[in-house]
Structure 1
Amino acid sequence: MTQELYQKAMLFAGEKHSDQKVPGTNSNYLLHISNVAMEIMIAYSNDKNFDLNFAIQTAILHDTIEDTSTNYNEIKDLFGEPIAKAVKALTKDSSIEYKEDRMKDSLNRINELQKEVGIVKIADRITNLQTPPAHWEKEKIIKYCEEAKLILKNLSDKNDYLIKRLQLKIQEYEIKINYS
């Protein structure tokens, strides 16, 4: 992995997410992005059977279309079409009415692309399965956990190390649900 690719993607994401916070915290959104990238790097150190440059750039940019004013063509022009397609697949389609259907649609699009895209989705959910924000209702927390299980089921062939991490995070999250 080259530092230049990492730095270019991180600068872009940092500028795009500059006013965004990690939900339920006062932390800048780059914390989430760097945690997803860290999951990818550690997964790579356990199994080098994927394109690290592609996966890291996708990880850093994964929320830019969904959460900022960034569009597909902007990603394509700066990072290339494969990265743009990956980020678009990781972006839930807001025109789909039901949240569960949006996730299923995104997972279907992820599975049509390189395995690195699925690896990023798994790493993203691992990172997001922290203690839920205090303002979340128990029903939302349960649905979020169920969504994690859907991701696990649909992307189970992408990376053994990350699948085991996701399974563990789901178990830990379920314990948090039962104590809240």
Structure 2
Amino acid sequence: MTQELYQKAIRFAGAKHAKQQVPGTKTNYLAHVSNVAMEVMLAHAQQPDFDLDFAVQLALLHDTLEDTDTDMLELIELFDGPVAFGVSALTKDENLPKEKRMQDSLDRIKTFPREVALVKLADRITNLQQPPEFWTEEKVEAYKKEASLILVELAGSCDYLEDRLIRKIEVYRR
């Protein structure tokens, strides 16, 4: 079942993110969402106490509402309500002031099944690569601090991913 769900979700994400690149690179954005899914699958191999099918779909679709023309109805129709609402929780509310968006998303994530939190951890692990050259030191430090907030807020979600995020935070710098 996981393979079919993976294929359906990655095809949808690939079509939606077709013209998007990983910020600061020329890499197609599909590399990012597939890396998030890979983190989730590796976590499941180490700690198989969560719904892998649900988590993989969330991982592959986690940026579709935030970064594409996808809407909730489309996600509900193509996937299901739990997946769509999980993706919604992972989506920052653009109507809020920028400094409140992450905390709002984390607060919403904590009201959902833990697979949503696992995806947020995996997403930040994946994002803690070499920062884009155009980022200032202040931006790099703010991103690192935000990663620590995610770790604290979502503590208890998945030991494996929490340990991975701790290690990524420790080495994250320009």
- Fold match (TM-score > 0.5): yes
For structure 2, the 5+ residue unaligned runs are none
Aligned residue type for 1:68 = T
Residue 3 of structure 1 and its aligned partner are, at CA, apart by 1.2
Q: Matched residue of 1:85: which SS? A: helix
Matched, 1:19 2:19: yes
* Equivalent residue, structure 1, for 2:46: 46
Aligned length: 174
* Equivalent residue, structure 2, for 1:8: 8
Q: Matched residue of 1:27: which SS? A: coil
CA distance in 1, matches of 2:3, 2:143: 34
Which ranges of 4 or more aligned residues in structure 1 deviate by more than 6 Å?
none
CA distance in 2, matches of 1:72, 1:168: 34
* Equivalent residue, structure 2, for 1:118: 117
Aligned residue type for 1:88 = S
* Equivalent residue, structure 1, for 2:78: 78
* Equivalent residue, structure 1, for 2:151: 152
CA distance in 1, matches of 2:84, 2:36: 18
* Equivalent residue, structure 1, for 2:34: 34
CA contact (8 A) 1:93 1:102 kept: yes
CA distance in 2, matches of 1:53, 1:105: 26
Computed over aligned residues only, the root mean square deviation of the Cα atoms, in angstroms, reads: 0.7
Residue 2 of structure 1 and its aligned partner are, at CA, apart by 2.3
Aligned residue type for 2:85 = K
Cα displacement string for residues 39-93 of structure 1 (whole angstroms, at most 9, x for unaligned residues): 0000000010000000000000000000000011110111000000000000000
Q: Percent identity?
A: 56
CA contact (8 A) 1:118 1:155 kept: yes
CA distance in 2, matches of 1:42, 1:94: 31
CA distance in 2, matches of 1:100, 1:116: 25
CA contact (8 A) 2:89 2:108 kept: yes
TM-score, length basis structure 1: 0.95
CA distance in 1, matches of 2:92, 2:17: 17
For structure 1, the 5+ residue unaligned runs are none
CA distance in 1, matches of 2:69, 2:51: 28
CA distance in 1, matches of 2:158, 2:9: 23
Aligned residue type for 1:113 = F
CA distance in 2, matches of 1:137, 1:69: 30
Residue 100 of structure 1 and its aligned partner are, at CA, apart by 2.9
CA contact (8 A) 2:2 2:52 kept: no
Matched, 1:132 2:131: yes
CA distance in 1, matches of 2:166, 2:155: 10
Q: Matched residue of 1:20: which SS? A: coil
